Structure 1
Amino acid sequence: MLPLMSQPALEGTAQAAPGRWSALSRLAVAVVLAMAPWFSAAAVLPQLRAAWVLTDAAASWLTLAVQLGFVAGAVLSAALNLADRVPPRRLILAGALLAAGANLGLLVAGGPVAAGVLRALTGAALALVYPPALKAMSAWFRTGRGVALGVMVGALTLGSALPHLVNGLGGANWRGVILTTSLLAALGGLIAARVGEGPHRFPPAVFRPAQAWRILRSRGVGLATLGYLGHMWELYAMWAWFAAFFGGVLTAGGLTDSGRGAAYATFAVVGVGALGCYAGGVLGDRWGRTRLTALAMGLSGGCALVLAAFSHAAPPVVLALSLFWGFWIIADSAQFSTIVSEVADPAYVGTALTAQLALGFTLTAASIALVPVLVRAGGWSLAFTVLAVGPLLGVVAMRRLARAPEAARIAGGRG
């Protein structure tokens, strides 16, 4: 194993780890399977509405509960430095099995209260899957790390889109979906447990509960996290509400089966982000991550503003703009994590990643809840305008990071 060096030195001297692409493919598959319970309730929400006579508020709670549970789990994990004190594959296995068990509990929940608690527990368990997986893959890649993490996030993006395809095809027996996603999660954990540790391991950490706060206060991680927050303000709110928005566009355009058309369109708009993640990884490694993230957020925020002006246009026009938005809205996502892996204290990279994700998902809960309020107050034009504020502020943070000394440690000195 190579001795610990600064990031620029490593970029210039490290040899590609044998088997790294095999490890990436296996871990990407493992994480998508392990994260399946996150999307399970979304896939069968129409059936749950009918079975449990859910109100709009109760249905929204089932969606937000996973986000909030993930935040709680991530905060606890960061405080305990779990991602830096426990081997990633063991954490992923434990999180996947716990998520599978909580997800199975929906079969006997009987109503929204118990289901909401189980969804929160599912989200908390998945906080042991996603951040450690990003750290684990960072140990396999020193050069090409942006592409590697882009592939990981791209796979998750495609998984996020699949529930909309299920709904477009007419759904399925909700109990079968819950059972299947639970089994997939357990399988994902078992696959991850068989992925060995990469050769570029981070140094061991000691238990320091306040380390997450100290890391976030450092300039490099702090600016990267501010950029990430601008990105997250827009991302999950767009994903959560696009089907409702485009369903209205189709209805206004005279389409009778607007629900199915909106489901297919949402699958395409969210799913195209998987290509965006790969492209973002390639460009981040070649151009520099601060430049790529600023470009992606500028284009994404610009798309939101253009759609605010054209929200009543013909469906083909709106869909074309939305596909462009869907590509760029996620293209930068993995690069924020990659930056943290390059500039944070090497012994606490896992803690830094977990803390960054906790803050980001906390913000998503607020923006998801805000969108329907804005739509009632001023329509989709107002909602998209407010969503655009986040990425445009994120551009400012990343331009500041590009001028900071820490930029020399990002993407082999490309910033």
Structure 2
Amino acid sequence: MSTAVPRHILPVIVLSQFASTSLWFAVNAVMPDLQRDWALPPAALGSLTSAVQLGFVAGTLAFALLMLADRFPPARVFLACSVLGALCNAAMLLAGGRLGVLLALRFAIGFLLAGVYPVGMKIAASWYRERLGAVMGVLIGALVLGTALPHGLRALAGDGSGPASSAGGLAPWQLVVLAVSLLAAAGGLATAVLVPPHPQVLRAARITPRALGLIWSDRRLRASVFGYFGHMWELYSFIVLVPVVMATRLAGTSVSAAAFWAIGAGFAGCVGGGLMVRSLGSARVAQLQLATSAACCVASPLMLVAPLPLFIAWMLLWGATVSGDSPQFSTLTAQNAPPAVVGSVLTFTNCIGFAISVASIEIFVRAAQAWPLAAVLPALAIGPALGLWMLSPLVRR
């Protein structure tokens, strides 16, 4: 017998996911402030972002192997990781510019996010088994908005010349860090209090290394997984470089505001892509969005010097499509993996994908410091191009 889903479940999960995943790129939103006040080197942008990604890879493997979301109520795991992640984020204010401490804190936050993002998906999947595709689009869209949120908060905090700078003697960037921490903790608390466990929740299967072989040997599974790898080459480097790109045309808090809208446009891409699936299918939607984001990469030398309205429209389109295919790749991989090992396949796929993002971030952040953006950004299209090639068997089918 199916269980009726209380109406408040999905909004609570979505808002909690949005609030708690704001921890992911909190440091990126205030990086110019940290470089000014703490004299952090330019390479710190890539290193601190990579630390979060590596922490997430390690955390995903640890949570999966230990089956923590099965041994303990998932909502309690979500709460614990949100609160601990919030504390680690707030502790950044005590680092005093010591890069080693900041790297350790960002790694810890990435590790704890493995108990937020995937566990939130697990909670949603237990309640929405029949409408999971549409729900996945909204949830990943919430993750994208959470990623953008610190930039929006930084824009609202002002440049330090207004009342915000005198709040408790804290600088605007410090207020942003604390606000993100409070939001993350509130998101965890909302899930623990308002989302009950599903009465018929299923226990996940144990992680098996044989899933790694299936990723390569199964033609359809290989198509979706390697398409996702190409997507990951582009996605997080784009997110890291958005403020750098915006700073070529804007200044001050306008950079943070524009970065929020460009990254946050991915919410529309995720939800819109989910609506298009009924008529086009996940493979074609993923192909369309991946091809569009690749075209945005290639067009960057022209768009960087285009009139400002066209420049902004280009960044919004890029932001919408670079994230919008994420739910479709997750759906395709889950559909094409054998049911007995789908959890293992998704775990290994996420870990490899985020490891690829670490390499991409390091390459493109360093390249952007050495060469003009017009020469660097087109190379982001390498991943989508390979992803489109690998995805083609599913599209033809």
Same fold? TM cut 0.5:
yes
Percent of aligned pairs sharing the same letter? 36
Q: 1:75 aligns with which of 61, 78, 88?
A: 61
Q: Deviations over 1:322-375 (max 9, x none)?
A: 222222111111122223333334455444333222222211122222224444
Indicate if the aligned counterparts of 1:276 and 1:328 stay in contact, CA closer than 8 A.
yes
**Distance in 2 between residues matched to 1:183 and 1:173, nearest whole Å:** 15
Answering whether residue 353 of structure 2 is matched by residue 360 of structure 1, we say yes
Give the aligned residue type for 1:356.
T
Q: Deviations over 1:168-204 (max 9, x none)?
A: 3426544433333333222222222242345774454
Give the aligned residue type for 1:325.
W
Distance change (3 Å), C-alpha of 1:373 and 1:47? closer
Q: 1:280 aligns with which of 247, 250, 273?
A: 273
**Distance in 2 between residues matched to 1:232 and 1:23, nearest whole Å:** 30
Answering whether residue 177 of structure 2 is matched by residue 184 of structure 1, we say no
Indicate if the aligned counterparts of 2:28 and 2:49 stay in contact, CA closer than 8 A.
yes
Distance change (3 Å), C-alpha of 1:143 and 1:182? same
Distance change (3 Å), C-alpha of 1:24 and 1:354? farther
Distance change (3 Å), C-alpha of 1:352 and 1:83? farther
Give the aligned residue type for 2:124.
M
**Distance in 1 between residues matched to 2:37 and 2:287, nearest whole Å:** 45
**Distance in 2 between residues matched to 1:108 and 1:204, nearest whole Å:** 39
Distance change (3 Å), C-alpha of 1:180 and 1:168? closer
Structure 1 equivalent of residue 294 of structure 2: 301
Q: Deviations over 1:239-269 (max 9, x none)?
A: 2112212322x2xxxxxx6243332222221
Answering whether residue 83 of structure 2 is matched by residue 128 of structure 1, we say no
Give matches, 1:142-221, under 5 Å: 142-169=129-156, 170=158, 172-193=171-192, 194-198=194-198, 201-205=201-205, 207-208=206-207, 210=209, 213-214=212-213, 216-217=215-216, 219=218, 220-221=220-221
Q: 2:264 aligns with which of 265, 271, 276?
A: 271
Structure 2: gaps (5+ residues): 160-170
Structure 2 equivalent of residue 9 of structure 1: none
Cα distance, 1:115 vs structure 2: 1.7
Q: Deviations over 1:8-61 (max 9, x none)?
A: xxxxxxxxx632653221111112222232233223333333442212123442
Of 42-51 and 194-203, more deviation after overlay is shown by 194-203
Distance change (3 Å), C-alpha of 1:403 and 1:77? farther
Structure 2 equivalent of residue 116 of structure 1: 103
Distance change (3 Å), C-alpha of 1:141 and 1:211? farther
**Distance in 1 between residues matched to 2:129 and 2:336, nearest whole Å:** 13
Give the aligned residue type for 1:304.
C
**Distance in 1 between residues matched to 2:236 and 2:207, nearest whole Å:** 31
**Distance in 1 between residues matched to 2:368 and 2:22, nearest whole Å:** 30
Cα distance, 1:131 vs structure 2: 1.3
**Distance in 1 between residues matched to 2:52 and 2:94, nearest whole Å:** 18
**Distance in 1 between residues matched to 2:301 and 2:5, nearest whole Å:** 46
Cα distance, 1:126 vs structure 2: 0.6
Answering whether residue 44 of structure 2 is matched by residue 45 of structure 1, we say no
Distance change (3 Å), C-alpha of 1:166 and 1:178? closer
Distance change (3 Å), C-alpha of 1:360 and 1:263? same
Of 313-322 and 38-47, more deviation after overlay is shown by 38-47
Distance change (3 Å), C-alpha of 1:163 and 1:180? closer
Indicate if the aligned counterparts of 1:93 and 1:190 stay in contact, CA closer than 8 A.
yes
Cα distance, 1:278 vs structure 2: 0.4
SS of equivalent residue, structure 1 residue 258: coil
Distance change (3 Å), C-alpha of 1:212 and 1:90? farther
Of 152-161 and 44-53, more deviation after overlay is shown by 44-53
Give the aligned residue type for 1:90.
R
Give matches, 1:369-408, under 5 Å: 369-375=362-368, 379-402=372-395
SS of equivalent residue, structure 1 residue 352: helix
Distance change (3 Å), C-alpha of 1:237 and 1:51? same
Indicate if the aligned counterparts of 1:84 and 1:348 stay in contact, CA closer than 8 A.
no
**Distance in 1 between residues matched to 2:69 and 2:227, nearest whole Å:** 23
Cα distance, 1:296 vs structure 2: 0.9
Q: Deviations over 1:271-314 (max 9, x none)?
A: 22211110011112442111110111111111221223433222
Indicate the RMSD between aligned Cα atoms, in angstroms.
2.7
Give the aligned residue type for 2:337.
A
Q: Deviations over 1:355-401 (max 9, x none)?
A: 22222221112222222444466532332221112112212222223
* Misfit runs of 4+, over 6 Å: none
Answering whether residue 86 of structure 2 is matched by residue 95 of structure 1, we say no
Give the paired residue count. 382
Give the aligned residue type for 1:326.
G
**Distance in 1 between residues matched to 2:217 and 2:128, nearest whole Å:** 24
Structure 1 equivalent of residue 330 of structure 2: 337
Structure 2 equivalent of residue 254 of structure 1: none
Indicate if the aligned counterparts of 1:304 and 1:384 stay in contact, CA closer than 8 A.
yes
Cα distance, 1:86 vs structure 2: 5.0
Structure 1: gaps (5+ residues): 3-16, 251-256, 405-415
Give matches, 1:50-65, under 5 Å: 50-65=36-51
**TM-score, reference length from structure 2:** 0.86
Answering whether residue 237 of structure 2 is matched by residue 244 of structure 1, we say no
**Distance in 1 between residues matched to 2:343 and 2:82, nearest whole Å:** 18
Indicate if the aligned counterparts of 1:135 and 1:341 stay in contact, CA closer than 8 A.
no
**Distance in 1 between residues matched to 2:241 and 2:233, nearest whole Å:** 13
Of 188-197 and 115-124, more deviation after overlay is shown by 188-197
